[in-house]
Amino acid sequence: MKILIAEDEPAFRRLLTDVLIKWGYEVVVTKDGAEAWHILNSDDAPKLAILDWMMPGIDGPELCRRIRRRAHGVYTYVMLLTSQQGDKDLVTGMEAGADDYLTKPFRVSELRVRLRTGRRIIDLQNELIAAREFFQEKAARDSLTRLWNHEEILSILSHEMARAEREGKCLGAIMADLDHFKRINDRYGHLAGDSVLRVAAEKMLTQVRAYDSIGRYGGEEFLVILPDCGRQCAMAFAERIRQRISEKEFNTSEGMIPVTMSLGVAVSCREQRLNATDLVKAADKALYAAKGGGRNRVEVAEGG
């Protein structure tokens, strides 16, 4: 684990560094509060910090206050080193945001025990962050296909629309629908239908780029968002998806099932800039044209 030392006295700084390296820490050494503040705001900043109370530039308590005022959620465990012995001074340090303190001179064994406490708190925070990210991701995903859900894919669309307009680029959208899906459910059962939806999602994901997005728009209908993709690009992606879906029967618990897909394409570019709602409507209208034209085909919105 990486740990920051902010200590202006050279001999004490060397002693502290040697002890921490011996215990297996990766040590980042600073000589004053300003340098420490800069490092703590850098990428991959240490999550454990040992700060001297009295330092040039920014002292330990003030550095604690700045750390706690930061808006981002990464927690830094802070230990103050001080020669102050009075209760009032120690209260001041803790109220500034320090997690712990150690008075100089200190026993090495005591420092080691207190750092273990800090490491446990940092480890717990990492577990909580991982759990939070997991549940946020889960809430944004469709439970059956693991694609983005309806709300999230529309949120992504709005974000990509704003970026495309800002950068003067095109944005393609595909509305895709499995053909005769009700017949699949009626003939093979809903478990087989669920399996078809999962396999379709997997096949679609193999045909798009890492920065494209696919969401389950509703039922057996999907919305594909293609950043920096004009008319020909979006048509090519739609055709690749159509071929991938129909090339082989789907292997399900109820046996092999033939599946096809109809797709509607729409594009927003500088020549015809659409808002998110109109882009979805245009793609949906093209999808219905594909359905009306015999299914298992790609249609493109007028002008798009």
Catalytically active residues, by annotation: 220
CA atoms of 204 and 167, how far apart (whole Å): 27
Residue the block writes with tokens 């530039």: 57
Q: Please give the sequence-ordered ranges of beta strands (E in DSSP) within 57-140, or none if there are none.
A: 77-82, 100-103
Q: What is the DSSP string of 129-161?
A: HHHHHHHHHHHHB-TTT-SB-HHHHHHHHHHHH
H/E stretch holding 190: helix 190-205
Is residue 42 exposed (0-12), middle (13-18) or buried (19+ Cβ within 10 Å)? exposed
Are 91 and 62 in contact by the 8 Å Cβ rule? The answer is: no
Give CA separation, 118 vs 24, 97, 123, 272, in Å. 15, 14, 9, 57
Give CA separation, 285 vs 80, 239, 300, in Å. 65, 17, 9
Question: For residue 35, how many C-alpha atoms fall within 13 Å in the half-sphere facing its CB?
Answer: 14
CA atoms of 55 and 118, how far apart (whole Å): 23
298-300, strands of its sheet edge to edge? 213-218, 221-227, 171-178, 261-268, 298-300
